[in-house]
Amino acid sequence: MNELISKTACEVVDLLRAREISPVDAVTASADRIEQVEASINAMPTLCIDQALEKARELERQQPFGHSEYRDWLGGLPISIKDLTETAGVRTTFGSPIYKDYIPAKSDILVQKLDYRGTIMMGKSNTPEFGAGASTFNEVFGVTRNPWNTSKSVAGSSGGACASIASGEVWLATGSDLGGSLRTPASFNSVVGLRPSPGRVPRSRTQEPFSCLHVQGPIARNCRDTAPFLDVMSGFHPSDPLSYPASQKPYMDYIDNPVKPRRIGYTPDLGITVIDPEVAQICKDAVQKFQTLNIPVDEGSPNFSGAIESFDVLRGASFVTNLMGEYRNHEHLLKPEVVWNIEKGFKLTADAISQAQLTQAKILQSVIRFFDKFDLLICPCAIVPPFDSEIRFVESLGEHTFDTYYEWLAITFALTLTGCPVLAVPAGFTRDGLPVGLQIIGPPRDEGPILSAGFLLEQLTGTSKQLPIDPNVTHL
């Protein structure tokens, strides 16, 4: 492994700023690593190495070094962009045969922001079709495999992004999250994924500009790397009516001077789902480590009653809004789960949608009352460890059978309904060496405290020090 690959994003940025290495050095190290591991994991099926080298040389020619006056300047750092995010001149498939040859003329707002801050896109990370389903496979590029055990799933929909981080192909990656698409793959790959508050990161490709369900966010090896990446992503943009100005306080301040929570509430299941006993124990053991810092941890949770039914309705309506054209013109090319979800949306009544919104409002008020007593809420990130990569979704756990292809994600999508920021961080590993993660939830629009808590937990568990890893090739 190239020495640069073993360094964190912040360490590499420091070297770039000091000109001890060049952007070409960073891109070359990333390209070499991709060549070493990509065949085993299929995390970044669309590469743009030549364009990356061209941008690296352009950055090197700039005097002064780009926009280096910005506190969040990441000039010369290689990253991956999720294949749900449009990139000018680079194939963007959304994981669907419908768009297998689509090359956008214009980049998403997020890509434009990252480009302006000097990051270098190495390629597009794999995703399930239109991000639907929490296992990363599609008819265009096939299955993405877990670096910790290549017979296992990376989850989804940001599965390729998280695998690209865990394996050291790139230092940072973009992801997106509707029902857990940042958080579940972060757990399955033992990386950090942050679902920001709606509006923190502006969006451009959406048919629902006023919806709070879908967000984009950062993925990194650790919380220290996540903080400046969130700064880069954040800010107001007129195309997104929910967006608002970036925080005046850099998120790195919450890492350099972490804010200790006064009281943490912990729940193994949010009161609405089942959970694998081994996963539950690993998560409980991890969160109890906060007590070594004299931070009280008590059993407690807001009331999430009705969350599954509410999300079920809101998700169905969203699928109709966003994919109606694809359904009517190319239904035969869509995977069965997507077709089912759209058709379910068509059958919704006004009464059902109204009830779903009322339930969401009740959940939010319960969450606000919870944060009057607790600084943070913590719960598991996924109810199971990584499963076989050929499984499309979790159908049952123990004696419980799930009603839909996404119900096993209730522990993440229930939190989506709150609009609160959620940080996914590694918690530990199963007896078989498979990753398990925790979700740290904070009050609305307050990402700083959850980054602090995640950073403190990293110091207690030491999990982030294990990255990047060489893929454990057990099945191809």
Whole-angstrom distance, CA of residue 164 vs CA of residue 175: 11
User: Do 249 and 259 touch, CB atoms closer than 8 A?
Assistant: no
What are residue 346's phi and psi, to 5 degrees? -60, -25
Cis peptide bond prior to 261, omega within 30° of 0: no
Q: Helices H, strands E: what count in the chain?
A: 14, 17
Dihedral of the alpha carbons of 280, 281, 283, 288, in degrees to the nearest 10: 140
CA dihedral 335, 340, 345, 349 (to 10 degrees): 170
Closest of 190, 168, 64 to residue 122, by C-alpha: 168
| Catalytic residue set | 82, 157, 181
Residue (of 389, 220, 407) closest to 307 by Cα position: 407
Per the structure block, which two tokens stand in for 45?
């099926």
CA distance 122 to 120: 6
Provide the greatest CA pair distance for the chain: 64
